[in-house]
Amino acid sequence: MKDRLAPDVQRFFDHWKSLPRDGKLPRVRDYLDRVKADLQPNVLLLDVVSATEVYVRLIGTRLVDLTGRELTRTNSLDIYAPDLRVEVGRSCVTMVTHPCGQISKRTVKTSGGMLLAASSIALPLGVDGNLLGCLAAFTEMHDPVATDETMTVIQRLTDRHWIDIGYGIPA
């Protein structure tokens, strides 16, 4: 696994694995009580309601800068190209209902039309209430983003792999 992950993505995964467990998963409060300040700017916490509703609970400052807008309480699926939304929504539901994670490479399109590479990992967190679950997602850009550009859409996902966190991976 370590050879597949970008360095900060691996550090985020190691941090997630170190969190205390209340049952199968670390809970949102466990994550929030132990935030790693150097990783937090690249983190999204996502509330998974359904395959079409995955809301941003928290967005790190680096990701706000990258997108050029505050996404808290918006449907995170809206930042994906339309042809990816159904697949990404289903993956989010899978990660919280069959506890597993997912890594991927992303191609991000900027406001200036540039295509940039990024790596991402999403891992489940336990929640209370009427949500299916919550995901902690970390994204590391591989390419620098010009200061006058913002991300307009996640255009493509490649190298997607499930991560077994102790409960197997989906078929």
- Domain of residue 13, residue span: 2-163
- Please indicate, yes or no, if residue 15 is contained in any of the structural domains: yes
- Please indicate, yes or no, if residue 44 is contained in any of the structural domains: yes
- Please indicate, yes or no, if residue 99 is contained in any of the structural domains: yes
CATH number of the domain enclosing 75: 3.30.450.20
- Please indicate, yes or no, if residue 169 is contained in any of the structural domains: no
Q: Specify the pLDDT at position 4.
A: 65
Query: For the ranges 24-28, 95-99, 103-107, which has the lowest average pLDDT?
Result: 24-28
Residues in contact with 170: Cβ distance below 8 Å, sequence separation at least 6, in sequence order: 94, 98, 100, 162
- Please indicate, yes or no, if residue 55 is contained in any of the structural domains: yes
Q: What is the 3-state secondary structure (H, E, C) of 47-100?
A: EEEECCEEEEEEECHHHHHHHCCCCCCCEHHHHECHHHHHHHHHHHHHHHHCCC
Confidence of residue 144 (pLDDT cuts 50, 70, 90): confident
Q: Report the candidate in 75, 155, 59 with the shortest Cα–Cα distance to residue 108.
A: 155
Mean per-residue pLDDT, 143-153: 85
Confidence of residue 1 (pLDDT cuts 50, 70, 90): very low
Q: What is the pLDDT of residues 43-89, one digit of tens each?
A: 999 999 999 999 999 999 999 999 988 999 999 999 999 999 999 99
Confidence of residue 93 (pLDDT cuts 50, 70, 90): very high
- Please indicate, yes or no, if residue 168 is contained in any of the structural domains: no
Amino acid identity at 156: R
Q: Is a pLDDT exceeding 60 seen at residue 9?
A: yes
- Please indicate, yes or no, if residue 43 is contained in any of the structural domains: yes
Q: Specify the pLDDT at position 2.
A: 43
What is the number of structural domains in the chain? Answer: 1
Given CA atoms 91, 92, 98, 101 in this order, what sign does their dihedral have?
positive
Q: Specify the pLDDT at position 35.
A: 87
- Please indicate, yes or no, if residue 16 is contained in any of the structural domains: yes
Query: For the ranges 60-74, 95-109, 128-142, which has the lowest average pLDDT?
Result: 128-142
Tokens 């489940």 correspond to what residue? Answer: 124
Contact status, residue 95 vs residue 101, Cβ threshold 8 Å: yes
Q: Report the candidate in 89, 87, 82, 13 with the shortest Cα–Cα distance to residue 55.
A: 89
Q: Specify the pLDDT at position 106.
A: 94
- pTM for the full model? 0.93
Q: Specify the pLDDT at position 79.
A: 95
